[in-house]
A and B are shown apart, each in its own frame.
Chain A
Amino acid sequence: MDNILQPWPWYISGPLIAFIMFILIYFGKTFGMSSNLRTFCAIGGAGKKIEFFNINLRDQRWNLLVVLGAIIGGYIAHFYLSVPTNIDLNPDTVKELSELGFENAGKSLLPSELYNLEALLSLKGLSILIIGGFLVGFGTRYAGGCTSGHAITGLSSLQLPSLIAVIGFFIGGLIMIHLIFPLIF
């Protein structure tokens, strides 16, 4: 039981993620979490005016259930299958983050400096979350997929477009962390 309560090593988690991808293909579907964002737009009525959102909602129902399950799974894992454990970050990372103004790195899933109520009520904090989310939603649809669709499914099926997309993910991520973070934090 203690093995379950402790964080799982990468060599357990990674193959399990591959099995999740595989079982969805077995069910005749494709692992793709960002497609749900398009479905949310369609549910909101965006399909009436914009062809891109004119999709059959019934075909997306299965994926919305995966989302609902993911929320439930997050709840179960966080509240029932975890002991309070700090994330075992590289000490250098913790030190750098502290210099950037992020205290207590690894003591929670998300940094309170960006995600607590105080941050949400500040212009800078709120802008960061909105801009970050916007870029994810815009970029993922532009690239035709996110980590699940390209990095896991696309690379596993040896597709060149997905490799290009993943290289893109890293170009963006590296620019943000190495060039933009020092300017905003």
Chain B
Amino acid sequence: MKYLKYLLVGIIFGIVLVKSEAISWYRIYEMFKFESFHMYGIIGSAVITGIILLLLTKKLKFKNINGDVMLVPKKERGLIKYIVGGSIFGLGWALSGACPGPMYILVGTGAFSILIVILAATFGTFVYGILKDKLPH
């Protein structure tokens, strides 16, 4: 039961991303071509809604399910890892047309060739884990 809620969140996430077309390779291409507002609308309205929700949370001191103060973990400070890592991610996102969330969702739509992308992404994460201490961060 404890875990059922996460399954439900995932199901809703999958449905929303299919219905928004954000899992489409073509929408990602179009976004990087600046030829449609669609993806910017999705991300922009998600962020604006998110900012409002999190500001309200802070102001009204919402508690989470465990009774603790709701908060978002702070990201580590840094520059190189974000700009270099982010750019590498962006190259792959534009080429495969899928970031990690949509990769899983696409499996559900029957696009099984995405499994190759998921395997390769897992391998990419594995290689990062090996090289981590040698990379500038």
> Do the two chains bind?
yes
> A residues within 8 Å of B by Cβ?
4, 7-30, 33-34, 36-38, 40-41, 44, 46, 50, 52-53, 61-63, 65-79, 81-82, 87, 89-90, 92-93, 96-97, 105-106, 109-111, 114-117, 119-120, 126, 128-148, 150-159, 161-162, 164-178, 180
A61 to B21, CA, bound (A): 28
Q: How far is the CB of B53 from chain A (nearest CB, A)?
A: 5
Main secondary structure of the interface of A (DSSP, over half): helix
On chain B, the number of residues with a Cβ less than 8 Å from chain A's Cβ atoms is: 113
A28 to B20, CA, bound (A): 26
User: Would you call A172 and B87 a contact (CB within 8 A)?
Assistant: yes
Instruction: Give B51's nearest chain A residue, CB to CB.
Output: A156
User: Given A26-B70, A152-B47, are A175 and B91 neighbors across the interface (CB < 8 Å)?
Assistant: yes
A/B pair count, beta carbons within 8 Å: 492
Main secondary structure of the interface of B (DSSP, over half): helix
User: Given A69-B7, A172-B90, are A164 and B83 neighbors across the interface (CB < 8 Å)?
Assistant: yes
User: Given A65-B3, A69-B14, are A133 and B29 neighbors across the interface (CB < 8 Å)?
Assistant: no
User: Given A71-B107, A78-B109, are A28 and B66 neighbors across the interface (CB < 8 Å)?
Assistant: yes
> B residues within 8 Å of A by Cβ?
3, 5-33, 35-39, 41-51, 53-54, 57, 62, 64-66, 68, 70-79, 81-101, 103-111, 113-114, 116-130, 132, 135
User: Would you call A50 and B19 a contact (CB within 8 A)?
Assistant: no
